[in-house]
Chain A
Amino acid sequence: MDPTLSNSIIYGCIYALMCVGLTLTYMTTKVPNFAHANFVVFAIFSGATAFIFGGFSSPYMTVPVAALAGAVVATLLYLLVLNPLTKKGANIVVLMIATLAAGIVFDAAVAAIFISYIGKTYAKFLSDKGYYLFNLNQLPDFRAFGEPGILFVAPAAMILVTIGIVLLLRTRFGIAMRAAIENPNLARILGINVERVYLISWFIAGLLAGIGGGLFSIQSPSPPSTSSNIIVDIFSGVVLGGIGSIYGGIIGGFIVGFSETYGIRLLTVFADNTWGYQVGSQLTAFQKGIPLAIMIITLLVIPQGLTSLNWRKILRLK
């Protein structure tokens, strides 16, 4: 398979996993979470530490560790910061600033615990293993049918998560969750424990961010500044999908991840052929411009996102 196409699919699936969690917490607790990318980075480093020190044979065994780390961090953020703030009647801007602050704390925690403490204490062990100063290159992947294993695992994970969400929304808990999204006060009157629904939705969001992070560290080198890189894609995917539906995150994330990787390839090939290699090689600098452009266009044309459109009507017209 064309490596650009396979990379685009992989990134699409990974970003879909990252976006769906943000959409979920946004729908339930109405908090625009600016720390979501930092959950991912925390999960990446937790998973990688488990891989390097645990002596796992396959990097995929780190994905559960990463998922758990993401879930713990997300739950802590909700319990310690967001829940008390919401109870005090904080407005949306205050919640945004609080998540921004939490993101800074998580990034500093990654730098302190993993890069500084473990990196310095086990410096020799790490450099022997090829991860000098926690320089995380792609974790070694298996190969199947001449393709990297992640090409099969990432779509499988995305499909499993989608099926999982479909099933979850049909359980008793899913109905309670939908009720809590629709009208929290009415749900409370009907005896639904809204607090528990919120807590579990943050747990799931962190879990999915962690799975996305674990797969990301197999696909791409992940320095601590990864959070700055992926936050553009995550926000773009969430806006594109729309916050009216949980599936919006999956659709938006996939489209953004795919078009970023594939679009920059098309652009550089076009520039190479038209203006020469000198120009083409410089164009990769615009890579994050693609998700940004998608975000701006979405906000201008369909501010409520793709899932807000009446697709049946549009398709029937054609």
Chain B
Amino acid sequence: MAFDLGTLAFAVSALTLPGEMFCFFLVVSLTVNLEFGYAGVPNFGKVLFVSIGAFLAGSMAYRLMVYLLHLKGDIFGSQFAFIPQIDNKLAADPVLAVELFLFMILVAAGAGAFFGFLASYPAIRLREDYLGMLLLAAGEFFLIFSLSYDPFLGGPLGMNAPAPIFYIGTIVGQPDLVVLGVLVACAVVIYIYAERVGRSPLGRTLRALRDNEVAAEAVGKDVVALRRNVLIVSSAIAAIAGVMWISFQPLMTPGTTSAATFNRLTDTFIPFVIVILGGAANNRGVLLGTFVYLLIYNAFSQGVTFMGPSVENALALVGIDNIKLMLIGALLIGILLRRPQGLIPEKPTLTMSRAKLKDLADAASAETKKAEEQTKPSS
């Protein structure tokens, strides 16, 4: 049989999780690139925006479903009784599921934009180091807060976000594939948007602002508005990335350890690794960086398994994940020391060649002459 559906389904299921991770990291890294690569704003509180998007959208969607289904009881205590009912409702009513997903995206984008606007206030006024400290501290505060304030997410045990796309997928019969498809669609749309911004005059203005703020201001660029808009847009996108994450990992456990759903390591540090690895101010670099990062990350585990049980056991004693983290940290420092421009360096904005400028000028003067000749007879 030339085309085996079973093999295909197996291949897809093996690639689902890495694919979903790829989409998530690509989107978060694109926002880091927009802020840090193009506009030169180091947002060390990226986890704040990603987790605000996910936690607010997830908990509001859950509360909304509890309200719509008229479920009685404590929303955290009877979570395990509520979840199957919500799931059944979503599976039975695809229109509601689509609406719920759009609602989650809107809530996340709105919350992200609002907090991005708040963060832009210090970002315009402070030096990079103070801004980094403030945003990092704000991110840690939010994570600690959502862990210890029980009425928000139910405390350390966390909360299950409704998974509308998954239950739209059950109607088709391939839930994982549908989730992956929606995430890929989101990532593609956001990538195209980021690429358009990067190539537009706005992208060049942002780079000029990053390289020399005073010069950009002197030629009449509104530095304050530009920085603010970049932070609002990229924070909204980062919050949408949070919704993307809970679409395939619906359990939201808050906390500051690396076991928590969102933490400083995966949502602030790794995107910076990806951007610097691939090359800042360069969306293709981010694409390559995400790919290379996930390749290294997964290949390490595969390689350890391949080397046999003796190596595996020796490494398990110190923890394979810990070794991986140390290697990633060392990799980032190595890149900063050896190849700070990344795998794909930023391309300088080329001015047009003299010949082309001359052609353009000739064409323009020919046009004015033509216009003058046309107006002559009438006057």
One digit per residue, 1 when the CB lies within 8 angstroms of any chain B CB and 0 when it does not, for chain A 295-313 equals 1100100010000000000
By a CB distance below 8 angstroms, the chain A residues around B255 are 225
Q: What total count of A-B pairs have CB within 8 Å?
A: 153
By a CB distance below 8 angstroms, the chain A residues around B132 are 32, 34, 93, 96
Is A282 within 8 A of B130, CB to CB?
A: no
Interface presence of B13 (CB below 8 A): no
- Scan residues 107-163 of chain A and give those whose CB is less than 8 A from a CB of chain B: 107-109, 111-113, 115-117, 120-121
Query: Roughly how many angstroms separate A121 CA and B133 CA in the complex, as a whole number?
Result: 38
One digit per residue, 1 when the CB lies within 8 angstroms of any chain A CB and 0 when it does not, for chain B 144-180 equals 1101111100000000000000000000000000000
Given the known A-B contacts A284-B148, A286-B145, are A235 and B137 also in contact in the complex, defined by CB atoms under 8 Å? yes
By a CB distance below 8 angstroms, the chain A residues around B36 are 93
Given the known A-B contacts A231-B136, A295-B134, are A97 and B42 also in contact in the complex, defined by CB atoms under 8 Å? yes
Is A96 within 8 A of B44, CB to CB?
A: yes
Interface presence of A5 (CB below 8 A): no
By a CB distance below 8 angstroms, the chain A residues around B148 are 284-285, 287
By a CB distance below 8 angstroms, the chain B residues around A117 are 317-318
Secondary structure of the A contact surface, majority rule: helix
One digit per residue, 1 when the CB lies within 8 angstroms of any chain A CB and 0 when it does not, for chain B 118-153 equals 000010001111101110111011011101111100
Query: Roughly how many angstroms separate A230 CA and B156 CA in the complex, as a whole number?
Result: 19
Interface presence of B269 (CB below 8 A): yes
Flag the segment in A9-17, A41-49, A81-89, A166-174 that touches B. Answer: A81-89
Is B317 within 8 A of A116, CB to CB?
A: yes
Interface presence of A292 (CB below 8 A): yes
Is B329 within 8 A of A108, CB to CB?
A: yes
Is B328 within 8 A of A104, CB to CB?
A: yes
Is A282 within 8 A of B333, CB to CB?
A: no
B154 to chain A, nearest CB (A): 12
Given the known A-B contacts A101-B329, A105-B326, A117-B318, are A94 and B129 also in contact in the complex, defined by CB atoms under 8 Å? no
Q: Which interface residue of B36, B147, B257, B329 has the most chain A CB atoms within 10 A?
A: B329
Interface presence of A8 (CB below 8 A): no
By a CB distance below 8 angstroms, the chain B residues around A225 are 255-257
- Scan residues 318-338 of chain B and give those whose CB is less than 8 A from a CB of chain A: 318-319, 322-323, 325-326, 328-330, 332-333, 336-337
Interface presence of B340 (CB below 8 A): yes
One digit per residue, 1 when the CB lies within 8 angstroms of any chain A CB and 0 when it does not, for chain B 21-49 equals 00000000000000010001010100000
Interface presence of B262 (CB below 8 A): no
For residue B325, which residue of chain A has the nearest CB?
A: A108
Interface presence of B227 (CB below 8 A): no
By a CB distance below 8 angstroms, the chain A residues around B332 are 97-98, 101
Count of chain B residues with a beta carbon within 8 Å of a chain A beta carbon:
51
Is B150 within 8 A of A282, CB to CB?
A: yes
B158 to chain A, nearest CB (A): 15
Query: Roughly how many angstroms separate A286 CA and B145 CA in the complex, as a whole number?
Result: 6
Given the known A-B contacts A228-B144, A289-B141, are A98 and B330 also in contact in the complex, defined by CB atoms under 8 Å? no
Q: Which residue of B44, B265, B322 contacts A34 across the interface (Cβ within 8 Å)? A: B44
For residue A228, which residue of chain B has the nearest CB?
A: B256
Interface presence of A267 (CB below 8 A): no
Is B333 within 8 A of A288, CB to CB?
A: no
Query: Roughly how many angstroms separate A236 CA and B133 CA in the complex, as a whole number?
Result: 8
Given the known A-B contacts A235-B137, A303-B126, are A102 and B329 also in contact in the complex, defined by CB atoms under 8 Å? yes
Query: Roughly how many angstroms separate A254 CA and B274 CA in the complex, as a whole number?
Result: 38
Is B318 within 8 A of A113, CB to CB?
A: yes
By a CB distance below 8 angstroms, the chain B residues around A269 are none
Is B122 within 8 A of A299, CB to CB?
A: yes
A87 to chain B, nearest CB (A): 10
Interface presence of A239 (CB below 8 A): yes
B243 to chain A, nearest CB (A): 24
Interface presence of A206 (CB below 8 A): no
Query: Roughly how many angstroms separate A229 CA and B136 CA in the complex, as a whole number?
Result: 11
By a CB distance below 8 angstroms, the chain B residues around A112 are 318-319, 322-323, 326
Query: Roughly how many angstroms separate A109 CA and B322 CA in the complex, as a whole number?
Result: 7
Is A34 within 8 A of B328, CB to CB?
A: no
Interface presence of A79 (CB below 8 A): no
One digit per residue, 1 when the CB lies within 8 angstroms of any chain B CB and 0 when it does not, for chain A 218-232 equals 000001110011011
Is B318 within 8 A of A235, CB to CB?
A: no
B145 to chain A, nearest CB (A): 5
Interface presence of A100 (CB below 8 A): yes
Q: Which residue of A109, A223, A291 contacts B326 across the interface (Cβ within 8 Å)? A: A109
Query: Roughly how many angstroms separate A5 CA and B274 CA in the complex, as a whole number?
Result: 46
Interface presence of A90 (CB below 8 A): yes
Q: Which residue of A93, A224, A287 contacts B257 across the interface (Cβ within 8 Å)? A: A224
Interface presence of A165 (CB below 8 A): no
Interface presence of A92 (CB below 8 A): yes
Is B319 within 8 A of A111, CB to CB?
A: yes
Interface presence of B272 (CB below 8 A): yes
Interface presence of B276 (CB below 8 A): yes
Is A288 within 8 A of B141, CB to CB?
A: yes
Is A34 within 8 A of B136, CB to CB?
A: yes
Which residues on B are within 8 Å of A, measured CB to CB? Answer: 36, 40, 42, 44, 122, 126-130, 132-134, 136-138, 140-141, 143-145, 147-151, 255-257, 264-265, 268-269, 272-273, 276, 317-319, 322-323, 325-326, 328-330, 332-333, 336-337, 340
| 13 CB < 8 A contacts A-B | A96-B42, A96-B128, A100-B44, A101-B332, A116-B322, A117-B318, A228-B256, A231-B137, A238-B133, A284-B148, A289-B141, A292-B141, A296-B122
